[in-house]
DNA sequence: TTTGATTCTGAAAATGTTTTCACGGAATTG
DNA sequence: CAATTCCGTGAAAACATTTTCAGAATCAAA
């Protein structure tokens, strides 16, 4: 068992209050005793127990993150942002992923509640109101890529709809009149928004065919195969995310369909490997890492007593053109 | 402020001990009082404060993970495994990444120490002894992909050397006599092992040229460019990980070098996107997700009092052949 | 010299739980 | 019927800190 304040106090010949005062620099202590305390701390290799500390200070120096899942490059980037920001603010990151159904979501929020000073919640398949009903304003919550219709809490989103609209408009402008669209997971807020954006972007000169999908490479593969069988055949495949686009790309290369000559392909997210695909993948760039940092920054400011009431950010997204849609 | 045991006890007209007994089912309580307690709990939406609980029980139901960084698909898979296993065991995951230098490593270990019941440590650039010197046997530590020369602690590794040796041998057998090798980060245990494996696999009939690298796509790109200039030109590029292999692949496609016809390419890790690259990437398959699960399982067993003294696992690795080395 | 402020210090309270202890009453045993 | 066991219960201790409170000592000002 490791040393406690009492051990340090005994060894230094002072009271535990004095030890605490030295360690936290919270009140003047005579030079003599300070030296003795410090020496005892070093000798015993004493580290204050953060649990006891949290109990009395009502502060855990920990930030909780509730995510739907953690696989894929998109989440790797997201986590990298969360990790970077939290460690910059000298906080720890308490992770609770794999939460898609409401019940596990609920328990996750509760067990993270007292263990962290605030939460970053990404719940594209849920809504902010449901989350806030559980935390009941007892805990700062900043939402990330989540629908917050009443703007009741700070959030950091990106323009799923606008990004996809811009991408679609670009394809139409490039002369594509029939575009196959691979949808994302049904029921997910961001997937719906992207689908909306696609429809808006089509305008009146182009027509779109939508295929089921769930953000996986497999779903993109299947959609591409089905798209190839359609008559007349579409000239472009636009997927709801890069992973699905990669799946589509694979289906096409396997069948020796030239990309972009015979079929253009585009994705969404612009994950790192999009630029390393062959052909490199045109995608809607989402600076998710920076957005995660931004969310943490807002949360930390809130925790430290700052006013973040109106902190709502919707990042505009731009298209990153690459080989898979031609005319690099 | 949320309700405490005292509030529940007062409302139910019992003592706090009784409330605790009902909630933890730790001693018989009369049916009448049990009902009243449960009703008060529901009414006040009471959730026991886990911090206070941890303080007295010396148990946090949290598992700490100390990682060198969190970017890339490899780490996404690793985290997915950690997350999956911890949530299965109803534990939380406390993450502390971005630790490569010894000093931040030290503070990370200390602050994770009292906040978690045990640690999963991946420190390829460090050694187990250094870590254990800090935790001083006060905390269960299971190592993942880390050098534990004295087998003093349980670890879950995979055969970096053997995997790379097998891959090299395969290339040699396929007729490659000059192979360019892209090294991983110097100083990292796994990088060194892979380099060793490459050298061993060459045998006497083939010759290898090694290029600097650091597990990034950029380093693979640069190495490939340099390899192309070498005379005589190598016929295969073998990278220390898939990301670097993707970078090499990119350099080659940009220069219209046919893969695998003009140049074979292979990687290590077999990340999900390796199978979606064009051409799909031959790689040494590392079941990192399953290995992470295994590490957590060992740790949890240890925490629950099991005997894990001899738990050392080194996963043998197999080569996954794909298009980038021909003869799928 | 007295007053008042300032500096330093330790005892004790507080944080929100679980667990130990002691005790009364009921049930069981001889 | 006495002795023993068992069940149900609340008071109090314990966990490892920080913080409040009050008191002692020192020092400056009047």
Q: What is the pLDDT of residue B137?
A: 83
Q: CA B156, CA B143: separation in Å to the nearest integer?
A: 6
What mean pLDDT value characterizes chain A? 93
Query: Which tokens sit at B155?
Result: 């670890």
Three-class DSSP category at B295: helix
| Mean pLDDT of the region B230-238 | 95
pLDDT at res. A102 = 65
Question: Mean per-residue pLDDT for A16-35?
Answer: 94
Question: A304 CA to chain B: closest CA distance, Å?
Answer: 17
Instruction: Specify the 3-state DSSP secondary structure of B6.
Output: helix
Map tokens 């996809």 to a residue. Answer: A164
- For residues A22-39, give the mean pLDDT: 94
Nucleotides of D under 7 A from a protein CB: 7-12, 14-20
Q: Do A278 and B273 touch (CB under 8 A)?
A: no
Q: What distance lies between CA A175 and its chain's CA centroid? A: 34
Q: Is the predicted pLDDT of residue A1 greater than 70, yes or no?
A: no
Q: What is the dihedral of CA B229, B230, B231, B232, to 10 degrees?
A: -110
Q: What average pLDDT score do residues B139-143 get?
A: 96
Confidence check: pLDDT of A328 > 60: no
CA distances from B300 to B119, B179, B297 (A): 10, 44, 5
More confident residue, A126 or B238: B238
What is the average per-residue pLDDT within B191-201?
98
Whether A18 has its CB under 8 Å from any CB of chain B: the answer is no
Q: Could you report the per-residue pLDDT of B62-108, keeping only the tens digit for each?
A: 999 999 888 888 999 999 999 999 999 999 999 988 766 667 788 88
pLDDT class of B109 with cuts at 50, 70, 90:
confident
Q: Is the pLDDT of residue A37 over 90?
A: yes
Nearest to A111 among B45, B50, B97 (CB): B50
Chain C nucleotides reached by a protein CB under 7 Å: 7-12, 14-20
Contacts of A256 in chain B (CB under 8 A): none
Which H or E run contains A283?
strand A282-285
Mean pLDDT over residues B195-202, rounded? 98
Separation of A114 CA and C15 C1' (Å):
13
For chain B, percent of residues with pLDDT exceeding 70: 97
* Residue A81 Cα, gap to closest chain B Cα (Å): 9
Which of chain A's residues have a Cβ under 8 Å away from the Cβ of B84? Answer: 98
| pLDDT attached to residue B328 | 47
Give the CA distances from residue A185 to residues A189, A200, A202, A215, A313, in Å, rounded to whole numbers and listed in that order. Answer: 9, 19, 21, 6, 24
Give the pLDDT confidence of A237-257 residue by residue, as tens digits: 999 999 999 999 999 999 999
Q: pLDDT per residue over B2-48, tens digit each?
A: 899 999 999 999 999 999 999 999 999 999 999 999 999 999 999 99
Return the HEC string of A278-294: CCCCEEEECCHHHHHHH
Model confidence at B326, in pLDDT bands (50, 70, 90)? confident
Cβ of A4 < 7 Å from strand D?
A: yes
Determine the pLDDT at residue B38: 96
The reply to whether omega before A315 is within 30° of 0 (cis) is: no
Is the Cβ atom of B20 within 7 Å of strand C at any atom?
yes
Per-residue pLDDT tens digits for B283-304: 999 999 999 999 999 999 999 9
Please give the structure tokens belonging to residue A226. Answer: 């089905």
Read off the pLDDT of each residue in A8-31 and give the average, rounded to a whole number. 95
Task: Determine the Cα–Cα distance for residues A177 and A171; give it in Å rounded to an integer.
Answer: 9
Say whether residue A328 is in contact with chain B using an 8 A CB cutoff: no
**Confidence grade of residue A119 (pLDDT, cut at 50, 70, 90):** very high
B297 touches strand D (CB under 7 A): no
pLDDT of residue B268: 98
Contacts of B247 in chain A (CB under 8 A): 276
Question: CA torsion B265→B269→B274→B279, rounded to 10°?
Answer: 10
| Residue B56, CB, strand C, below 7 Å | yes
The DSSP bridge pattern shows strands A318-320 and A282-285 to be antiparallel
User: Which residue from A minimizes the CA distance to B59?
Assistant: A51
Binned at pLDDT 50, 70 and 90, residue A278 comes out as confident
Tell me if the bond preceding B232 is cis, omega within 30° of 0.
Answer: yes
So what's the pLDDT on residue A282?
A: 98
- CA at A18, C1' at C10: how many angstroms apart? 8
pLDDT-derived band of residue B145, with 50, 70 and 90 as boundaries? Answer: very high
**Chain A contact set for B69 (CB, 8 A):** 80
Mean pLDDT over A312-326 rounds to 96
Reply yes or no on whether the pLDDT at B327 is more than 70: no
A63 — pLDDT class (breaks 50, 70, 90): very high
* Sole residue written with tokens 């073998």: B238
- What pLDDT was estimated at residue B195? 98
Min Cα–Cα distance to chain B from A204, Å: 34
| Least trusted range by pLDDT, from A62-76, A157-171, A239-253, B199-213 | A62-76
Task: Identify the residue with better confidence: A100 or B273.
Answer: B273
């Amino acid at each position: 068992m490791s040393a406690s304040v009492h051990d340090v106090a005994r060894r230094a010949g002072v009271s535990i209050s004095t030890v605490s005062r030295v360690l936290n620099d919270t009140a003047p202590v005579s030079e003599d005793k300070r030296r003795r305390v410090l020496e005892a701390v070093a000798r015993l290799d004493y580290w204050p127990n953060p649990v006891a500390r949290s109990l009395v200070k009502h502060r855990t120096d920990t930030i909780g993150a509730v995510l739907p899942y953690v696989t894929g490059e998109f989440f790797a980037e997201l986590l990298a942002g969360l990790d970077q920001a939290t460690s910059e603010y000298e906080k720890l990151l308490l992770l609770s992923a794999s939460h898609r159904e409401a019940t596990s979501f609920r328990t996750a929020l509760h067990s993270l509640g007292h263990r962290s000073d605030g939460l970053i919640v990404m719940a594209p398949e849920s809504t902010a109101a449901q989350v806030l009903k559980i935390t009941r304003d007892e805990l700062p919550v900043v939402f990330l890529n989540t629908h917050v219709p009443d703007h009741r809490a700070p959030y950091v989103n990106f323009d799923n709809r606008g990004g996809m609209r811009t991408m679609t408009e670009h394809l139409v402008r490039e002369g594509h009149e029939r575009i196959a669209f691979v949808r994302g997971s049904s029921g997910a807020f961001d997937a719906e928004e992207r689908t909306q954006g696609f429809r808006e972007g089509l305008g009146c000169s182009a027509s779109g065919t939508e295929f089921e999908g769930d953000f996986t490479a497999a779903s993109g593969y299947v959609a591409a195969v089905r798209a190839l069988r359609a008559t007349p055949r579409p000239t472009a495949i636009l997927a709801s995310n890069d992973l699905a686009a990669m799946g589509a790309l694979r289906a096409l290369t396997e069948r020796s369909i030239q990309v972009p000559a015979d079929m253009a392909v585009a994705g969404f997210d612009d994950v790192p490997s999009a630029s390393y695909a062959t052909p490199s993948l045109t995608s809607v760039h989402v600076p998710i890492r920076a957005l995660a940092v931004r969310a943490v920054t807002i949360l930390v400011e809130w925790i430290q007593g700052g006013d973040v009431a109106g902190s709502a950010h919707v990042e505009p997204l731009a298209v990153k053109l690459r080989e898979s849609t031609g005319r690099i």
